[in-house]
Structure 1
């Protein structure tokens, strides 16, 4: 992340010298303020633009236009001076402390396999950068990676330099010293760059010069934010909604004459079915009535609601007597029928 931030400050310094719109500068500063969350996502599924668009809506207007530089950037970093010596051990292949003189113009490190050449380079790397790329590539905890295999511990290497004739300790700073190291694998890949595709060539060049992380970060931006920006304000959205409601109401009002004409046609057809030649209002008056004349429906309803007329000389006792007489006559009929059936068998 430090390399991305450092290169982004270089980009801002370059942008400050270009003639671009102020909103471009504001957007660049917005990205700087949210570099970490933006670097976590890429262009896939518009992840970068989805995360950047709300930030632009909320904070773009407040972003500064002028670039004031990076206090931690390479331009303002401490002067390294000339390397003086490296104290290393126990560390990786070194079981005890060793001191290497680096004050000469050329320092040649040679030896058989397993004698500590790689450990020396990694000690120099961790002393200047604070990290080891090989440990990061293998996803191994750096403290475990730096331990001596037998002692299972390590002491951080100490690198010193001379500036103005005085020795001083070199503080690890990846942003300041990361261009001091080029891995062998990078050189091997660069030697075969002509056989690569243009996109792979750009990636190899970025890797060779240590800007591969920044290059990957830059490729993670989507071409446009238009799909994710909601530039209409709240009042504008409310106005658009009310305009839509007004348009719907106007369409409804415009359709009223046709609906009224259709209803009038149905009324006239119903009136002709009830009384040919009569109007609809005449039929309504005949059916429902007027203040001067009772309508047909009220008359029928009054007849239904009235009490039924009484039947004279009919009482409950008389009905019961008639029912008993009916039962008696039925019994006589059944007895006579039985006698006739018996005599019919004698003939």
Structure 2
């Protein structure tokens, strides 16, 4: 079968022919219909991810059809349309992942292949209202956003929420989920056209974070924020602190801009503000996220779709950072 491997060559990505994976007793073989990229995949390509293991099949997002099942799995699963939970060994503590936690797509072989073998408990039924491309886009970004918004952010209908860097996959899901429950959604981006797209889709307002005083405009437009969902960190954390309502929650799931040079702790403690880190989410939250998407008929935002033989160009697009929504690849 065809698969995308991470290698130690000058171009670290290599489409290769490898053996179809063998089934264990509690596993299923899924023929993938579509897969989607995450920022994690590009970081691995660039050597900016810990413990890179060459020869691994990349990819955390995918949707497909169960083709075969192991000896301990019911035959009734055959031909089911499924999406794959990319969690590996979250552990028993739902509040935080275990020490041996990882994400599908290195070290365990991931979804960027024609077939994948996973434990039967990694499957969820594909929501009927989603196309294959939309279903493939859902797992990692949807779960990360769901945990940030609801587990840590405690977002409620009518709350003011700011989604930063709204062009990325997780931020797009945070945007969609917040709209779905009736929150007042505002966004930031470094591209005016992305802000405009979100306003056209239901955002109350948007701001270009490249403008020096963007946070003053955000404060004036919103009256302050109950929740901020952020992926970048860095010095802009202090801008968020300035525009939070009392007892507001800043939830960040990444730190691409690094650590703030200083942190306005005085304003934080006086206004009872929480700064909370977050990761992808536990297995129970994955089930809740899929149910939420079904109930609200959420449709993921797709930037582009291309065939598997052209998958490396999708990585190039992600590196350029101009996409709006998920980059999807089909078989």
TM bucket, shorter chain: under 0.3
By percentage of residues, which structure has more strand?
A: 2
- Report the structure number with the largest CA radius of gyration: 1
What is the TM-score with the length of structure 2 in the denominator?
0.24
